[in-house]
Amino acid sequence: MCSEIVIKELIRKGAEASLYSGNWFGKDVIFKRRFPKSYRINVLDKAIRQSRTVNEAKALIRVKNYGINVPIVYEIDRKTSTIIMKYIQGNKLKDLMISLNSNEKKDYFFEIGRFIARLHLNGHIHGDITTSNIIISPEKDIFIIDFGLHEYSDTIEDKSVDLHLLKRVLISTHGNDYKICFDAFQQGYIIEFPENKKPEAKQIIKNIDIIETRGRYVKKEDRL
């Protein structure tokens, strides 16, 4: 890489990709790189990594047009299956929860509900809505990150599964705050839908209970 592009340090190593901090032509950035998997045939592995990289980058570019705060994509390197995106200053919502009062939690989750509704209204499924994938900036802006499991779908089922993951995370990780946070989230989610589509929003939320009774979420979990 040329001197204008500098990779500094590993931030997180995941099963699917690794994140590095660095600089890109004077900007603080994150490099998200998908590395080869030795258990896959080389040609297939390369095609999968490139496809997932492009899918994620395009999703970030598109959803930003809906008024959702996500990292800006600066470059897509197909050869190395790398996305270069803006480094978002702030803290994971997961780490902030203990320091927030009830009203702050309600306000954040109400807005998060509106953001996710906007995704769903435009046919996007995030695939991994957790408090670890939500960044709160120093200015208290909400950023949705990590679209690595993003899909395109307009079905009630897939949208319900998306929300069900958040519900499970809140129960397991933030149990004491589960009710006030998920209630606020649902309120924001429903209010973002136009009047003629509010029945759909309510059906999506209602369908979460159905998913829980038949274990549909397990199939999604296998992909993580």
Rounded Cα distance, 86 and 71, in Å: 5
DSSP per-residue string spanning 79-133: TTTEEEEE---SEEHHHHGGG--HHHHHHHHHHHHHHHHHHHHTTEE-S---GGG
**Rounded CA separation 106/112 (Å):** 10
Q: How far apart are CA 210 and CA 207, in angstroms?
A: 5
Q: Locate 160 and state its tokens.
A: 């319900």
* Integer Cα distance of 10 and 188 in angstroms: 35
Chain mean position to CA 160:
15
35 — phi, psi (to 5°)? -95, 155
Q: Which residue numbers are catalytic?
A: 128
* C-alpha–C-alpha distance, residues 90 and 110, integer Å: 19
